[in-house]
Amino acid sequence: MTLRHIGGEMAGWSDATPAGGQAYGYLIEALRPLVPAGARVLVAGPHTPALIAALPGNAKITCLVRGELDADALIDHDVTILCGSLAKLTDQFDVIVALDGVARLSAVEGPQYDWAESVQALHRALLPGGALLLSVENELGVHKLVDRTTVTSAHTDADWRPVGEYDDKPGTPARLRDRLTADGLTVTWLGTAWPLPSAPTFVADESALRHGPAGALAAAASGAAGVAYAGRRVLSDPRRLSSAAIRAGLGAELAPAWVVLAFRGAAGPVRLPPAVLGAGPLPELPPGRLLEELLIGACLRHDLPEVRRLLTAWVAEQPTTTADNVLVDGAAFAVLDDTRPGVEAAVAVRRFAAMLLAGGYEQPWPAAGDTESLTRVLLAAAGLPTGTVAADDVPLPAPDSVREHEERVRRLEEQLTDAAVRIRHVESELVSRDRELRRARLQIDMFSGKAGYRITRLGARAARKAVRLLKNR
């Protein structure tokens, strides 16, 4: 271990949420053919120890961080540590890994490099024929579109330059490729990272995302977003936005981040996989569309025959798989991710019912306003027993979405307005029927000759007689 202060180091500073995750780890391991024994590798920016450990042990690894606390945390690793600003970097390397991007490579004191200047500095640090694995955050990515905070205001001490979408980063994959090519780099692979730039769990090549099975790829991105955003407060559900973007052919433009493998000179002998899910390449995906989306669409159209067809086929073909893990292609029902644990059919139906209500979707049974009643309706439509609603202790992997909350509030207001109209109608009906009941009782008393009616009649006669006497006087 060697620790060198190169200038611009930040005392008492540590960058939060370093780049990490199994998907990034797999991409780093895929670079092993480019890292022979004794090759010099630079890990630029904050990365988790697991990513650093994924590099070959026989390489000469150097880590560049700006915070002294981050540098101290790397002392126990067999690496060379450079603490300071990117502007002070003078060494050259065979491979540079910058999966955290370049935003956290400049120190608070010293030159404040923008994106283009930072990439050019990394380019200068590459030896001829060297490789650069770079992550670029998309300021118009799904993760930004659902974020409740503005990117142009400081929210932490690290945001001393909150330029956000006013930065000079390229805004599309095509522009990113052109910018790197103009700087003298040869781009051989460009991937889209989902659902968070700092720790993606799904990475798909731009070409695969555009021309691959859109339904399956959209389902993979939606599932990754559901896990990452579970319980988090957002403007809108990122699962719906991610899935819709990929199906519409805009997945590459709205991806949270792009990951680029580029070379200074000719391309190297490395070919990254078309898609990565978790810690390995994504297996060949079957065609079709997610069952959950098809069921939602049928509910929105109030297409009850289609709802029944999908539900009955689901419980017949894949009864232990949840609706967000089944791909439908005509009459074929295939499992998207067979590593997810199976559940009972009634539990799977209950989870779909909970998702339908939590998302504020229109559905054909407005009276079924809670999970238990809607689950019974769906179980009946699927041909399953409805006596006891299956319990489910697993929390719904859904974000705390403001838009969905507003939709549910709007529906509740509509229900309350409708209930108020019904109450007023019932009250008027009660008053009218009460009058009719009183008249009916009076008639019954008259015809039955009850004592009370006779006394009332005698009193009326006496009153009329008294009035006549008074008039004759």
Angle between helices 173-182 and 115-124 (to 10 degrees): 50
β-strand pairing of 400-401 with 233-234: parallel
If you search the block for the tokens 């049974």, which residue do you land on?
365
Say whether the peptide bond before residue 195 is cis (omega within 30 degrees of 0).
yes
pLDDT score of 451:
62
Contacts of 97 (CB under 8 A, 6+ apart): 28, 31, 41, 42, 43, 44, 47, 51, 55, 133
Find the helix or strand (DSSP H, E) in which 277 lies: strand 275-277
pLDDT-based confidence at residue 226 (cuts at 50, 70, 90): confident
Q: Are 166 and 152 in contact (CB under 8 A)?
A: yes
**DSSP-assigned states of every residue in 312-341:** HHHHHH-TTS-GGGEEEETTEEEES-TTSP
Closest C-alpha among 381, 385, 311 to residue 348: 311
- Give the model confidence (pLDDT) of 106-134 as tens digits: 998 889 999 999 999 999 999 999 999 99
Is the alpha carbon torsion for 341, 345, 350, 351 positive or negative? positive
Output the average pLDDT for the chain.
Answer: 89
Q: Cβ atoms within 10 A of the Cβ of 75, count?
A: 11
Q: What angle do CA 401, 245, 311 make, to 5 degrees?
A: 70
The percent of residues above 70 in pLDDT, for the chain, comes to: 96
Structural tokens at position 397: 């992997």
Give CA separation, 395 vs 19, 196, 199, 398, in Å. 27, 21, 22, 8
Tell me how far apart the alpha carbons of residues 228 and 214 are, in angstroms, rounded to a whole number. Answer: 21
What is residue 462's three-state secondary structure? helix
Smallest CA-to-CA distance from 375 within 323, 331, 431, 338 is with 323
Give the pLDDT band (50/70/90) at residue 12: very high
pLDDT in tens, 368-399: 888 889 999 999 999 988 877 767 777 777 78
* Buried residues in 400-427 as b, exposed as e (16+ CB within 10 A): ebeebeeeeeebeeeeeeeeeeeeeeee
Distance (Å, rounded) from C-alpha 5 to C-alpha 129? Answer: 28
Question: What contacts 215, CB < 8 A, 6 or more positions away?
Answer: 247, 287, 288, 289, 290, 293, 327
DSSP 57: T
Give the residue, 186 or 154, on which the prediction is more confident.
Answer: 186
Rounded to a whole number of angstroms, the CA Rg of the chain reads 34
Provide the pLDDT for residue 48.
95
What lies within 8 Å, CB to CB, of 340 at 6+ separation is: 321, 322, 325
The pLDDT assigned to 62 comes to 96
Q: Which residues of 183-206 are buried (b: 16+ CB within 10 A; e: fewer)?
A: eebebbbbbbbbbbbbbbbbbbbb
Residue-wise pLDDT tens digits, 69-109:
999 999 888 899 999 999 999 999 999 999 999 999 999 88
Q: What is the pLDDT of residues 326-376, one digit of tens each?
A: 999 988 999 988 888 888 899 999 999 988 888 888 889 988 888 889 999
Please tell me the distance from the alpha carbon of residue 434 to that of residue 454, in angstroms, as a whole number.
24
Residue 199 predicted with pLDDT over 80 = yes
- The stretch 413-438 carries a mean pLDDT of 90
Is residue 157 pLDDT above 90, yes or no? no
Task: Say which amino acid occupies 410.
Answer: R
Predicted local confidence at residue 295, as pLDDT: 95
Residue-wise pLDDT for 230-257, tens only, equals 888 899 889 999 999 999 999 999 999 9
Query: Among 93, 104, 117, which residue's Cα sits nearest to residue 46?
Result: 104
